[in-house]
Amino acid sequence: MDTSHCHYQGYILLLVLLYSSMFDVASNIDISSDARGSKTDSNPKQYVNCGNYEVERRQMTVSCSKSAEYIITKINFADYGNPTGCSEEHKVSRHGNCGAPDTLRIVKKNCLGKHKCELYVSDEMFGPSHCKKDIKLIVVFTCTKA
């Protein structure tokens, strides 16, 4: 009876050691990567942002939203007219068929090197869009830590 009781306590001790080692290993696992293996960082060196504004709002603020230490370093896409896109991945923005041709140049001139810039969503700012309805401005831009 003493021998079986010792075996029983030995198994319990073994299970306790096994579980404690598993939890110790689990607490040391780096989980800062998502399922695809991409690192997630709440304060990255640079990130891409997207602004989508319809003409009724008349004014668009292009801004690096994380903090004032970021500046706009690249305008990846800009179109005033009837562009489509502006998804979370910022990879599917497409020019429409009636956009203003100088939009990208004007957005670059007004926004590059700044933390934020104001754009007036109008034909006066970008030139005629030749669109009949649903006029909007989409800007995809990269913010980099200064």
Domain ranges of the chain: 46-145
Dig out the tokens for 104 from the structure: 């990208």
**Residue 11 confidence (pLDDT):** 67
Instruction: Work out the average pLDDT over 117-144.
Output: 88
pTM above 0.75, yes or no: no
Helix (H) or strand (E) holding 144, with range, is: strand 136-145
Instruction: Work out the average pLDDT over 65-70.
Output: 84
Would you say residue 113 has pLDDT above 60? yes
Percent of the chain, pLDDT > 70? 65
Chain mean pLDDT for the chain: 76
Which tens digits make up the pLDDT trace of 22-65?
Answer: 555 444 444 444 444 444 456 689 888 888 776 666 788 899 98
**Residue 102 confidence (pLDDT):** 92
**Residue 14 confidence (pLDDT):** 64
d(CA 113, CA 26): 44
The more confident residue out of 4 and 146 is 146
Q: How many degrees, rounded to 5, is the angle at CA 126 between CA 85 and CA 81?
A: 35
Q: What fold does the segment set 46-145 form as a domain?
A: Jelly Rolls (2.60.120)
Dig out the tokens for 34 from the structure: 């998502």
Residue type at 26 in one-letter notation:
A
Q: Do residues 90 and 139 touch, judged by C-beta distance below 8 A? A: no
Q: Is the dihedral of CA 3, 5, 11, 14 positive or negative?
A: negative
Backbone angles phi, psi at 85, to 5 degrees: 120, -140
Residue with tokens 């830590």: 145
Would you say residue 17 has pLDDT above 80? no
31-55: burial string, b at 16+ Cβ within 10 Å, e else:
eeeeeeeeeeeeeeeebebbbbbeb
Would you say residue 15 has pLDDT above 70? no
Q: Do residues 101 and 82 touch, judged by C-beta distance below 8 A? A: no
